[in-house]
Amino acid sequence: MRLGIFAIREDPQGVGRRRRTFLGFVQTLVDGATNAITSWLSAQLYTIITPIDAIYKRRVAP
């Protein structure tokens, strides 16, 4: 996937190709930022849930 003002990239939902516009470029940046934030958040959630899960299992297990 090439990043650039005239980058065309297939969108993940398979809706079609983005036009060769500045808007397409902005959309690509927004998508990248969204992906980064989402993966960061899920990592945070995982680190919070894991110890809670361990404590819960310890209590439930005989």
Residues 3-37: pLDDT tens digits? 554 445 555 554 555 556 788 888 889 999 999 99
Does any domain span residue 27?
A: yes
Does any domain span residue 7?
A: no
Does any domain span residue 50?
A: yes
Q: What is the pLDDT of residue 34?
A: 92
Does any domain span residue 14?
A: no
pLDDT, average across residues 41-49: 88
Domain tally for the chain? 1
Boundaries of domain holding 41: 20-62
Q: What is the pLDDT of residue 12?
A: 55
pLDDT at 49 over 70: yes
Radius of gyration of the chain (CA): 20
Does any domain span residue 59?
A: yes
Comparing 61 with 25, the larger pLDDT belongs to 25
Does any domain span residue 2?
A: no
DSSP string, 43-58: HHHHHHHHHHHHHHHH
